[in-house]
Chains A and B, each alone.
Chain A
């Protein structure tokens, strides 16, 4: 028997596999047993009701899909009254992602979302199509610090901060979030992207820019998780390109305590459950009793390299 449970601050997850915000809703209960998941992660909620972006909202590219949805939703009041109870029917902790265009409103959202059935608040300060001063605060160290400080002052719930892969120096931004009181870091959101159609010369998405969602992100985000894990003490949830159990292992070796999955659940609705089962089997086969043994277990101190050919590897 393998112990798959992991702790993210005060919260215990029964396993380290959870859906990524935006790629999941309770409606997946039609096809999988939601009680098997590590956590339930609701789609990012905003204060105001929003229709979202013009269609098309998704386009295929050579190396994944790009999408720009525009955070549609019926607003925070409807969310608390009608959507939270849908999630409360299931056992895993509920992570509620939220977004706003101002720091003051982010802080107010944190307070208003601190209701009993919400277990974690995820600050989505990295929506790639918002601008750096209007909600995509994770593009900048100071905005991140200000936003998370303000949210921290208004809630006692565990606060996870979703970082942007589009920022130049994610390590400094991660440290700013930690200093401001984040309980965990979610690394990362989608990569800002563009596709132009060659048949009509127009951008393929109604909103022009979109976020790239793809297994191709894994080595890039894995590198970010590795770099950040060396510099912060709080847990990390790695998100980017996980499609199989070995990808979860890789993220954990790099220093993540859990992973979020988006694309794989789109491709195979049963993927998250398969990955949980496969992860257990993977640990079992290797005599790993607790999955937490993998966290940060990458062997990077005694690398046998040809010193003449070795290039600088950064951190």
Chain B
């Protein structure tokens, strides 16, 4: 006989381990869970990125923009993938019971993830950390991201739409084939602009002109960024100049995801003093002006 925190109900499958979709959660009040999701779809969106949709236990649907899950990726080769991979949630579809991730197939973890087929199990832990926060007083915000950072920023458009806040999203990419999340932003009413390396529009001075234009037209009550050190520095500079608050989502090699191991440290500067913070628990979303960059 095993000890259970809730009296067992023969009609339900109680478990203290990872929760499958039909399991009863013995600890519904807990913030985080370990879940075994079922892959609904895992398709290429372009040559480098894939989009995976998971059916998960309802507990996992508490996730909001900027929060992460820690993914136990299958191995793409004969060796083991030892650690989970942290990834911010791309979309939470509460009606369908889905969480979604948009990812670049680059390292061993994401290459293993790319092999998942519909119907496969996929173990995810989360939601972890603090996500983006929108102030009720904001009317229009600017989202500036690059590469896979746009996947982190995309769910902000959902959050903003729910709070009736207008979004201008500047999407930076190497070339038109890898512009990410445009449809998701636009589908939720965001105005999007694409800047590219291939035509030179992604250069910092050009992005600065775009941002200055938005500020001049009252479209920038707050800044949000992810995925580029150059763009972080630019938003910090303009944020300081025009007194615009901002938030940045950071990433770092991560082990536990709960704040216990102190592996995922980044440097921040607060009141002139440098300090280290844990991306997993103190973030992954931080005050834009406090981030030192990488």
A residues with CB within 8 A of B: 1, 22-25, 27-28, 30-33, 36, 43, 51-52, 55-65, 67, 69, 72, 214, 263, 265-270, 273-274, 277, 280-281, 284
Q: In the bound complex, what is the Cα–Cα distance between A284 and B2 (angstroms)?
A: 10
Assess the A58–B263 pair: CB atoms within 8 A. yes
Assess the A23–B2 pair: CB atoms within 8 A. no
Q: In the bound complex, what is the Cα–Cα distance between A263 and B252 (angstroms)?
A: 19
- Bits for B70-107, please: 1 = Cβ < 8 Å to A, else 0: 00100000011111100000000000000000000000
Q: Which residues of A contact B256 (CB under 8 A)?
A: 23, 265-266, 269
Q: Is B123's CB within 8 Å of the partner chain A?
A: yes
Q: Is B268's CB within 8 Å of the partner chain A?
A: no
Assess the B83–A269 pair: CB atoms within 8 A. no
Assess the A56–B2 pair: CB atoms within 8 A. no
Q: Closest CB of chain B to A71's CB: distance in Å?
A: 9
Assess the B260–A267 pair: CB atoms within 8 A. no
Question: Other CB < 8 Å A-B pairs besides A27-B259, A62-B80, A267-B83, 16 of them?
Answer: A23-B260, A31-B31, A31-B32, A33-B16, A43-B260, A52-B262, A58-B261, A60-B82, A60-B83, A65-B255, A72-B265, A263-B82, A268-B18, A273-B17, A274-B17, A280-B2
Assess the A58–B253 pair: CB atoms within 8 A. yes
- Given A23-B261, A56-B253, A270-B34, residue A31 in contact with residue B83 (CB < 8 A): no
Q: Closest CB of chain A to B200's CB: distance in Å?
A: 29
Assess the A277–B82 pair: CB atoms within 8 A. no
Assess the A55–B253 pair: CB atoms within 8 A. yes
- Bits for B93-129, please: 1 = Cβ < 8 Å to A, else 0: 0000000000000001000000000000001010000
- Given A27-B281, A72-B276, residue A268 in contact with residue B258 (CB < 8 A): no
The residue in chain B whose Cβ has the minimal distance to the Cβ of A43 is B260
Q: Which of B34, B253, B262, B281: most chain A Cβ within 10 A? A: B262
Top 6 A-B pairs, shortest CB-CB distance: A25-B260, A31-B32, A30-B32, A27-B259, A274-B17, A57-B263
- Given A266-B83, A267-B72, residue A31 in contact with residue B30 (CB < 8 A): yes
B residues with CB within 8 A of A: 1-3, 5, 16-18, 27, 30-34, 72, 79-84, 108, 123, 125, 252-253, 255-263, 265-266, 276, 281
Assess the B33–A31 pair: CB atoms within 8 A. yes
Q: Which residues of A contact B72 (CB under 8 A)?
A: 267-268
Q: In the bound complex, what is the Cα–Cα distance between A67 and B2 (angstroms)?
A: 35
Assess the B2–A30 pair: CB atoms within 8 A. no
A-B contact pairs, 30 of them (CB 8 A): A1-B1, A22-B261, A23-B256, A23-B261, A28-B260, A30-B31, A31-B31, A31-B33, A33-B5, A33-B16, A33-B27, A43-B260, A51-B276, A55-B266, A56-B263, A57-B253, A58-B255, A60-B108, A62-B79, A64-B82, A65-B82, A67-B255, A69-B263, A214-B82, A266-B256, A267-B82, A269-B258, A270-B17, A277-B2, A277-B16
Q: Which residues of B contact A273 (CB under 8 A)?
A: 16-17
Q: In the bound complex, what is the Cα–Cα distance between A59 and B256 (angstroms)?
A: 13
Q: In the bound complex, what is the Cα–Cα distance between A69 and B125 (angstroms)?
A: 23
Assess the A36–B255 pair: CB atoms within 8 A. no
Q: In the bound complex, what is the Cα–Cα distance between A72 and B259 (angstroms)?
A: 12
